[in-house]
Structure formats: structure tokens, C-alpha cells
Amino acid sequence: MVGDAGVAHARWRQIVEDIGRFDAGAGRQAQRALERHDAPLRVQIAGRGGAVRPTLRTAVEAAVARVEAAELDSPDRPEPVLDADVVLLVLAARAHPADLAALLTVDAERLVVVLDRTEGLDDADAAFAHAAAQVRRPVLAPGSAPAAVADRLGSARRRRAAALARDLAGIAAGPRARDVIESVLDDLLGSKW
């Protein structure tokens, strides 16, 4: 598959060159599609002030390369745009309206919900049940977040591979460039990658 580590970037460069040799405009479009596909995956850790603990961020950074912080409900700042490939939303035991609003903006394929602490609740199981009921999404303990993020990153790679196939399929190209594109699409859809 395109998103797997085994795909040689040199092979893709050659495919783009082949398309461009037959149709310069189609080659530029294929190059842009490949650049979008190859862009580094992003992880955002979002939460209200103080919710994102340094230990959680360090654990996620150890599992992935690029992590960004996004503080919710911050005075004097607009709400962040939660648009990363994976969004790790950190909740306190009792979700705040800003947390719930953030949940509505992120689709489930990109979201990992983590309960940061059990403030005011003696029983951790009760805290998780309470948070899950409030947000109507699965809630994880902070220690399990890196594995969940890694799983979501795998899904993000598959989404990017599908987007690359759609982008290539949508390129208007001359007959010879189209033949190269169709051959690549046959390989992509046949899982030869």
C-alpha cells in the first residue's frame, strides 16, 4: 500500500517524472499529490489549560515525530483549529463545555480521548465511566494514549494513500500520461505497493 514504509520514494519520483514527460501539467499535479501524501503526519494534543501534562506529551513524542499543543478555552486567544491527522483530546474527570465543543469538531477516525486525572473522584473506574458518558466516546487512561495514537496514525496513512489514489485518478492528462497514471492506479488498487 502507498502509506507503508516499504514504498520507495525514488519509485514515486520516477512515476511523477514519467507522467510529466508525457504531460507537464499532469506531472505538476501528480507532484503536488505526492507532496501532500508525503507530508509529515501531525498529532495535536488538545486540552484546557494545565490538562496536557509534560509526561503525556513526552510519551506521545516518543511514539511519533511531530506533536503540537492546542490549548482549549484560553482567554484572549481564539479556539485552536483541530485539524491534525490525529487529535489527542485530554479531559479532566468532568468535561467542560469547551471540551465537548472540541469533540464535535473532530471526526472519530482522528480522535483519541484521554482522561487526565480523577479530580474529586475516589474511584478511577467511576471517573472513566463518568467521562465516557459525558463525551459519548471511548476514554483512555493517559498511559494507553501512545498506542492509541499509533493506531490512529496507521489509519491516517491509509487515508492519505486513498487520497493519493483519488488525486491521481482525478488528473486530466494526455493519453500517454494517462496510461502511466492508470498503471499506477492498478498497482495501488491491487495492493501491489
Q: What's the pLDDT score for residue 121?
A: 55
Range of the domain at 98: 43-144
| DSSP-assigned letters across all residues of 141-189 | -GGGHHHHHHHHHHHHHHHHHHHHHHHHHT----HHHHHHHHHHHHHHH
Give the pLDDT of the chain (193 residues) as one tens digit per residue: 444 444 446 788 888 999 999 999 999 999 999 999 988 889 998 888 776 777 778 878 877 767 888 888 888 889 889 999 999 888 876 777 888 788 888 888 888 888 776 555 566 666 666 777 666 777 777 777 888 888 888 899 899 989 999 999 999 999 999 999 999 888 777 754 4
Query: In terms of domains, do 125 and 168 share one?
Result: no
Q: What's the pLDDT score for residue 191?
A: 52
What is the chain's Cα-based Rg?
21
Cα–Cα distances (Å) from 7 to 11, 26, 83, 90, 102, in that order, read 8, 22, 26, 34, 35
Query: In terms of domains, do 13 and 32 share one?
Result: yes
Domain count within the chain: 2
Query: In terms of domains, do 47 and 139 share one?
Result: yes
Q: What's the pLDDT score for residue 119?
A: 55
Instruction: Return mean pLDDT, the chain.
Output: 81
Distance (Å, whole) CA 120 – CA 188: 52
Query: In terms of domains, do 59 and 130 share one?
Result: yes
Long-range contacts of 27-35 (CB under 8 A, 24+ apart): 27/177, 29/167, 29/171, 30/168, 30/171, 30/181, 33/164, 33/167, 33/168, 33/171, 34/164
Query: In terms of domains, do 74 and 167 share one?
Result: no
Cα dihedral sign for 104, 105, 107, 108?
negative
